[in-house]
Structure 1
Amino acid sequence: MQVKDNTFLITGAASGLGAATAERLVAAGGRVVLCDLSDAVEAHAERLGEASRAIRGDVTSGDEIQAAVDAAVELSEGRGLAGVVHCAGVVSVAKLVDREGNPADLDAYNRTIQINLVGTFNVMRLAAAAMAKNAAGEDGERGVIINTASIAAFDGQVGQCAYSASKAGVVSMSLPAARELSRHGVRVMAIAPGVFETPMMSEIPDEAAQALAASVPFPKRLGKPDEFARLAEQIINNAMLNGEVIRLDGGIRMQ
């Protein structure tokens, strides 16, 4: 599959990994529908020009994601939705038992699972249904789904029970989804980023961010959103990438 002249839905597209992916795909000649809950998604779509559309959407809502999929199909001018790069998600940190001996909040755990895991499933199911209607291209391919996992799925730290579990679920869905959707010509991949320069990272103290950057074997820095976007573009272009999770982390292993 080529990016040029194809249309892609990007979630979490107002900033960070999603915004960088949208920029790269438009630069490569693609069309994009940017989906996010943030008001900033509309301004980003305006900056990208006529090849982009913005839509406010909650990844846990069937109706709102269906509207985003429909918008992408409309933007495609008859070619159909070619791919999804699903970047929307939240980071959560909470110990099972805090310093005062109080148990973790169950509602906060559920929220993380709903957004990161159930939201991923919701986007996949609706996008796949749309892609299955596309005309088959080379090798019978009709579409590609790229989800965002995390190295926390493998190297979860203290306080990351909810986040690690949600991202491990994204990892675990990749192969069975790829196997199931193969009959429709739809590939499923996941990227597991390490520590990246995103708005989520800005929420932690500078000293902690610097320590994380120093712990990356090489290069000794935080990842740049465009490096994620480049990998997403390469996955789109390479039909043999399917059913796999790619760590994008500079070799870091969290302690």
Structure 2
Amino acid sequence: MKLNGTSAIVTGAGSGLGAATARALAAGGARVALFDLSEEAAARVAAEIGGLAIPVDVSDAASGEAAFARAAAAHGPARILVNCAGVAPVCKVLGKQGLMSLDAYRAGIEVNLIGTFNMLRLFAQDAQALDPLEGGERGVIVNTASIAAYEGQIGQTAYASSKAGVVGLTLPAAREFAPLGIRVCTIAPGIFETAMLRSLPQAAQDSLGASVPYPSRLGNAAEYADLVLHIVANQMLNGETIRIDGALRLPPK
């Protein structure tokens, strides 16, 4: 799928992987709607790239519907959806503070898994009615999981299981949407440089980067965005989760 003139939606677009993806899509000529829980954060990036900032709680049905309607009214129905909105809760089931609450577990599932599904279903609903492009393609969805979906560490029960759910969502959704010409892929990043990681002492950042076999550094958001662009462009990529991690495999802790 070509980017120029195409409408795209990026969730979690106010920072990190989402912001880098919004910039990359806009640089390719796409009309980008930036969804984020923080309208202020989305607006800063939107002003930079000429996009549209829309506040949204991805895990809420009504909020998602309203956001999609606003994006469609401004740019037309989207043909590209990139789900980057997410949280990274850390909590042991049996921790020093006591038993992990169901609410703490539920919070990670709500945003990372239910939020991804909510955006996916609303996108597909609109994209199915679009005129097909070359090869019958109508849309592309790129979700974000994590290598923690495969090697979750101690304290990551909520995070790892939510991301494993995103991986599990990918193939059945791709199979269901195939007759409609809508592709679904997922990216599973390793340790990437984000605002949270940048807040750590430099020694801690260097240590994390050194744990990556090659290249021995933190991933940068532009590398994630480059992979998004390739998935969008390569019509044969469908139903797959792609690791981008420098051959890293997470240890237990």
Task: Give the TM-score, by structure 2 length.
Answer: 0.95
Structure 1 residue runs without a partner (length 5+): none
Which amino acid in the other structure matches residue 85 of structure 2?
A
2:181 matched to 1:182? Answer: no
Secondary structure of the 2:35 match is strand
RMSD (Å) for aligned C-alpha atoms = 1.3
1:23 and 2:23 correspond? yes
* 1:82 aligned partner: 79
Inter-CA distance 203–62: structure 2 relative to 1 (3 Å threshold): farther
How far does residue 203 in structure 1 lie from its aligned partner after superposition? 5.1
Counterparts of 2:83 and 2:58, CA distance in 1: 9
Query: Percent identical across equivalent pairs?
Result: 48
Match of 2:207 in 1: 211
Residue 66 of structure 1 is matched in structure 2 by 65
Matched, 1:156 2:127: no
Q: How many residues align?
A: 250
Separation (CA, whole Å) in 2 of partners of 1:89 and 1:203: 18
The alpha carbon displacement at 1:107 in A equals 0.8
1:4-153 matches, cutoff 5 A: 4-38=4-38, 39-49=40-50, 52-77=51-76, 80-99=77-96, 102-153=98-149
Alpha-carbon offset, residue 204 of structure 1: 4.7
CA apart distance, 1:210: 2.3
Alignment of 1:230-245 (within 5 A): 230-245=226-241
Q: TM-score, normalised by structure 1?
A: 0.95
Whether the aligned pair in 2 keeps the contact of 1:57 and 1:68 (CA below 8 Å) is yes
Question: What SS is found at the alignment partner of 1:108?
Answer: helix
1:133, 1:205 → 2: CA distance? 50
The residue identity in structure 2 corresponding to 1:33 is A
Per-residue deviation, residues 1-56 of structure 1 (Å, max 9, x unmatched): 1111101000000010000001011111111000001121112111112xx10100
**1:14 corresponds to which letter in structure 2?**
G
Look up the SS of the partner of 2:108 in the other structure.
helix
Matching residue's letter, 1:97: L
How far, CA to CA, are the matches of 2:73 and 2:242 in structure 1? 31
Per-residue deviation at 1:98? 1.3
